[in-house]
Structure 1
């Protein structure tokens, strides 16, 4: 191995905007304690002789927030530290679930570092994300056109990390590329044959702030002893990137998608993610109409707040702020929530998980961290003028579920498994409310009994599901089980009464009727599930699927209205599935950050089971094309519904696409229960080619 001559030490702490406390308190701690401490430390060591120095690296958002909100004296100190390279930013604002973003919002995040570069005469070419185990190749073209050439990705140490080389060139379909360093922890040492420079991360934990001066001195002494011939230097990702880019031509090339194996967490709060997506669409409409200037301060604040929604922290740490392994079943959960005080756990089996728990814990405090995350939407709206804010408010009103009342004279009762001419299609509906036959005006069959459209299902989970998931996905338990068992599991679930089972349930049609309009035909299918599912679990008491068939084109609008959903702490999931009949199902593509990607082209131990899509799923085959757009629910499984499954297999795409409307299977960070009423909207456009 090449002798190391220079060891680039990157001092960093992991930013969770929340998790260790309410997000507001976390940010206050950074602004009033951690950043001033970093300034003090860097200033003190800068005055001392010798090579022991301190350079603190953060995402651009934190520095931008400090410069915006700090008092003049502290702002001056920060600017001096920036000019002297003692405080530095990398090319991204913070760690996000990239698949939840669109290209414009992602680009806005990068613009924070670009503007800081322009303001202070810097040139940022490196970026970093931490904790989230995987990301989409859709970001590569955007990063390249913003001159980000090196990306460090540090994965959570207890989650399967993608099977990729530690250093590689990640090349997108359009030829854009960047060098990636992947590690199976927040940041580890990197040494490459042929390179005299090595990389070393000096990390403090989640929201721990900078190290003490004693710890810095000890680290330098330790590293100098380990690398006696090397210069130990407090450095930056940019400085190391310049060195590693010299060997870019020697690195292996990866062209596959990786994906985000945490993405199912996005469906833990469907209300928030649906309104976030609505605001992204409205932003585009306002820009196109000249109502919102992308160069304005209003736009910048709007995007800044909106960007906090896909930030990877969605709530408090469960085993610190709740730690209740006794109250899972519906009655016990409702009583504990009403009591709003968590007592010491009675389940001795999991006593080892109680070490970090707060003495005073409550359900309301824990839930407030999820509301705080929703408040980012209000903060984004507050940046807009009154007219645009009112327009957004009207859009949100339209998102509320509820079926318009029609008189008996307006309604025509339909029978299941009977064909009807609706719009440009001949349609039949199954006993579960889905479309089980769909033929267009060219005679093309798009759905049959084996390939149905609009299938609702509700899934419950048991301890056996988590046992399998831990076997397939969770790593390093020997070291980290004291927190991983909670974060990725549901400790105590096996003691709930009645004992949870893994089952999938399908509704039956309670009523089916047609409303004819001058330009469209609307079919309403009222659905019914067994009553024990909303008494013991969390399925909505009232559900209706509305199908709208336009008379002038081949588009079908699908809405699922889900009302009176009880909060449920038992692990649950709801799905709406579309299984169109296609000749060449391998042609399906999903959209992420503007890129069309195949669900079948994902690396081993990337997420082959579940994705988040920007606008939808698209098919172009010899017989025609399909656009399956999802307005509100971005998380989707190709081939078959797969939660708590990580076996590296690809489900056959002939099995269609299964949108995860909601789940609460995570054990921490994301919302643990959900009780809002929802309307989930989809658009299906089917265009057949004339065939021989």
Structure 2
């Protein structure tokens, strides 16, 4: 059987197959006068091999092939000269990286300067909705660094391939970076958003970019029948990590065009050139405003521990940046953190790249039950290569498992996970050092704790005692981006009592637990008398649900979703080899008996449920429900100990059935909040999606319930959403299901989960008449970005015990960058509006250095407007809803 790599090459728009398909066509679109042929290969971070082997091929073999074609065509007329388009990160970090030879580098740089080797605006293909704002922004910097280094104009186009759909943060992100055109090409087996072929994609902030969407990686050289413009884009793609076309393929393409399309001008060029040409037409195109949840996004929770790490650490990257800047502004010198942050953001982006390990055809793709266990035993028995070097090992083969290295395939998943661990290693070292430094600088002697608020609005919240585990304090009114400090004597020790009563009262709720299903069966809000649990639901609030799927669910989903029903389409998206549903039927499992412990303190009430029996799915499950005495929310934490690995399709959930009548869902997605009934483009994922903030379900009077998770990004509205896809689903049941783990796909996401870890969710009531999005954003980001602590002992410092940092009027605006400029010199401040509210915002600094003014810049560091004066430490500016705003700070001489 041919490998997936070769089959992808045949099924995507490689030059040779394009010609074969085009020769069958007879009609030429009479509107088209100019065809812009752009050549690119699809970049996978690994998948076809370990990343280091892929990078080596890009640096050497692919570049040699590309340079040979470039140099051969250099004497042809400009429109016939070959140009090869590549993604930003592999060109900047690998092709031009330190491992490149001096001789080849000279040729590469010449090709860049002459426009024959072209970089588009994005770093590579990502699971876009998995990333936070500043990660996305930093990803633009690889391309802009190249253009600045070689004196080239800023790129105005971008491209992603394979992943079917991307969050509508993309129009906002690219527009505010000066990028005008986005080409998206879908994996040929997957369903895709039903976009027009060429259109304006409008982001939630109202900004627009020109977009071309193709249901394959690229497009034919022959124009489509209904192409709306004179200028047509022929996006000529080769398959996964395949490299450029040969001179012979290009010659055939030209000969075909000359014969079949006489009178049409063929330009070998770039996405930028096409963009300029089509925009000059001022085309009358449809505008599409809507979101595109990713139909591959389930893969995030194939690595639940590392995805939790990613969701925890990404907001802390911005917190580290801002704290380091403020320390210097408060007169506490610190070392530059720019280089370390750049590495942290890079590694975070690499974790968000769309390939998560080697192709499953090199692993136990078809093995289940005892066959899978045998495969795993054989893999464990293989010796670890000398010096831990897996790169030279031969790939295993799913059909001939006695050859090749199974360990290599397993190791590829470790390499993917290591990217976000690297980010976490950097941030978890640098951030505590600076928090402790700030604590030591406070004018308070002896043993003390510093509480730092990384959000730009005043807030209160709980912290854990840094010296005594499981001892908590509630800290009130921490200033925006500022801190308060306490001596040990100022913190009150908790008094703890224990009981086993399943019903009790807190200052905000009357609570009853169900010890059969394991969760809250009744949650009554005292101030209103509202019952917050949907009593008609089959689930209780916070219930753990484990699903095991059969061939019936898998086959139904596959037949609805996959456009290729056999071969690699079946192997990648289906689950061939599974036991028949009669032998392995669908299973919905929740432990049916739980022990309860209720710990009551002066700070919170903490209920711990422990499963009596786990039916072999794990060694143990616990659920912990925390009810603060000073705030109306509940934290629900699920912990598994020793989860049993199982390759049979499965998934886990925390269930939240809310008592909300006539429910409206508000889902805090990257870019902006959406209503899934109205804001999702047909063809995208309606059952499962990543959230940037959280989810609210409200009634017509705006009261309701909301939730957010600091750990788990994936939710299903209305019902559990694994192995489900259709064009029309709209949630009507007022429930949210938070995905804990799954092994849904069969290609390059991890095929099983095991180990011990925890994930948490916060729920809270939404009051009548409340602004839903503003409430959701505030509470979600206070969940995702908790209060941070530092400690010190000994002599007092000079700073006051309480101090504010940079503040932004109102709530719902994030500071995503406040530090050294990643695109040049100086200091930048970047804000991003989250609450969907346009208006004048006031930014106030607390800095011993006097800031004279701020200069507006775009997301790539280019000046966009006149300087704004800073008066008495503040400045005002107009901020659009869901929009970013970036400024470079100008200090007094």
**Same fold by TM-score greater than 0.5:** yes
The secondary structure found in structure 1 opposite 2:82 is coil
Select 2:232's aligned residue among 198, 222, 226.
198
Within 5 Å, give how 1:3-18 maps onto structure 2.
Answer: 3-18=31-46
Match for 1:109 among 131, 139, 156?
139
Report whether the alignment pairs 1:582 with 2:660.
Answer: yes
Q: Give 1:643's match in structure 2, choosing from 703, 722, 745.
A: 722
Q: Secondary structure at the match of 1:222?
A: helix
Aligned residue number for residue 446 of structure 1: 532
SS at structure 1 position matched to 2:91: helix
C-alpha RMSD of matched pairs (Å): 2.9
Q: Residue 352 of structure 2: SS of its match in structure 1?
A: coil
Deviation string 1:35-61 (CA, Å, 9 cap, x unpaired) is 232123212221456864210001111
> Which region of structure 1 is more displaced relative to structure 2, 456-465 or 359-368?
359-368
User: Is the contact between residue 615 and residue 631 of structure 1 (CA under 8 Å) also seen in structure 2?
Assistant: no
1:448 CA drift (Å) = 4.2
TM-score w.r.t. structure 1 length? 0.88
- 1:28 Cα deviation (Å)? 1.6
Distance between the aligned counterparts of 1:328 and 1:362, measured in 2? 19
Aligned partner of residue 276 in structure 1, secondary structure: helix
Residues 179 and 623 (structure 1), Cα distance of their counterparts in 2 relative to 1, 3 Å cut: closer
Q: Does 1:306 align with 2:383?
A: no
CA distance in 1, matches of 2:583, 2:730: 30
Counterpart residue number, 2:289? 255
1:219 and 2:296 are equivalent in the alignment? no
Indicate yes or no: 2:564 matched with 1:476.
yes
User: How far, CA to CA, are the matches of 1:519 and 1:411 in structure 2?
Assistant: 12
Provide the aligned length of Structure 1 versus Structure 2.
654
Deviations 1:228-257 (A, max 9, x none): 212322111111112222456511121122
Report the structure number with the largest CA radius of gyration: 2
Q: Name 2:573's counterpart in structure 1.
A: 488
Go from structure 1 to structure 2 and tell me whether the alpha carbon gap of 1:614 and 1:361 turns closer, same or farther (over 3 Å shift).
farther
2:685 maps to 607
Deviation larger for 92-101 or 458-467:
458-467
Is 1:20 aligned with 2:37? no
Greater Cα shift, 122-131 or 108-117: 108-117
Query: How far 1:93 moved relative to its partner?
Result: 0.7
Shift of the alpha carbon at 1:381? 4.8
CA contact (8 A) 1:62 1:93 kept: yes
Q: Secondary structure at 1:64's aligned position in 2?
A: helix
| TM-superposed deviation, 1:170 | 1.4
The alignment status of 1:316 with 2:400, answered yes or no, reads: no
**Shift in Å, 1:466:** 1.9
Looking at structure 2, the residues matched to 208 and 116 of structure 1 have their Cα atoms a distance apart, in angstroms, of 23
Contact 2:300 2:307 in 1 (8 A): yes
Which residue matches 2:191?
A: 160
Deviation at 1:17, TM superposition (A): 0.5
Aligned pair partner of 1:598 in 640, 653, 675: 675
Q: Say if 1:584 and 1:575 are closer, same or farther in 2 by CA, change over 3 A.
A: same
User: Aligned pair 1:34/2:62, yes or no?
Assistant: yes
Aligned residue for 2:13? none
Equivalences for 1:327-366 in 2 at 5 Å? 327-329=367-369, 331-340=370-379, 360-366=403-409
CA distance in 2, matches of 1:202, 1:428: 61
> Helix, strand or coil: the match of 1:28?
helix
Give the Cα–Cα distance (whole angstroms) in 1 for the partners of residues 78 and 184 of structure 2: 32
Is this contact kept in 2: 1:52–1:217, CA < 8 A? no
Is the Cα–Cα contact under 8 Å of residues 313 and 423 in structure 2 kept in the other structure?
no
Give CA-to-partner distance per residue, 1:432-483, whole Å, 9 cap, x none: 1211111123123222423642121000111111221122111133xxx221
- Aligned match of 1:271: 305
Structure 1 residue matching 2:608: 3-state secondary structure: strand
CA pair 109-77 structure 1, distance change in 2 beyond 3 A: same
Query: 5+ residue gaps in structure 2?
Result: 1-28, 327-334, 382-396, 436-463, 472-494, 771-893
Deviation at 1:489, TM superposition (A): 1.1
- Are residues 1:68 and 2:97 paired? yes
TM-score between both structures, scaled by the size of structure 2: 0.69
Q: Deviations over 1:305-347 (max 9, x none)?
A: 110111000111112x12552x311x443233112399xxxxx
The 1-side partners of 2:379 and 2:546 are apart by 29
In 1, the alpha carbon distance for the partners of 2:274 and 2:574 equals 38
SS in 2 for 1:113: helix
Out of 375, 378, 382, the position equivalent to 2:418 is 375
Q: CA deviation at 1:595?
A: 1.1
How far residue 625 of structure 1 moved from its aligned partner, in angstroms, is: 5.5
Supply the distance in 1 between the matched residues of 2:297 and 2:285 (Cα, whole angstroms). Answer: 29
In 2, the alpha carbon distance for the partners of 1:594 and 1:201 equals: 28
The Cα of 1:615 is off from its aligned counterpart by: 2.6
Secondary structure, counterpart of 2:579 in structure 1:
helix
2:120 is the alignment partner of 1:90:
yes
CA distance in 2, matches of 1:340, 1:203: 36
Listed as ranges, the gaps of 5+ residues in structure 1 are 343-353, 393-397
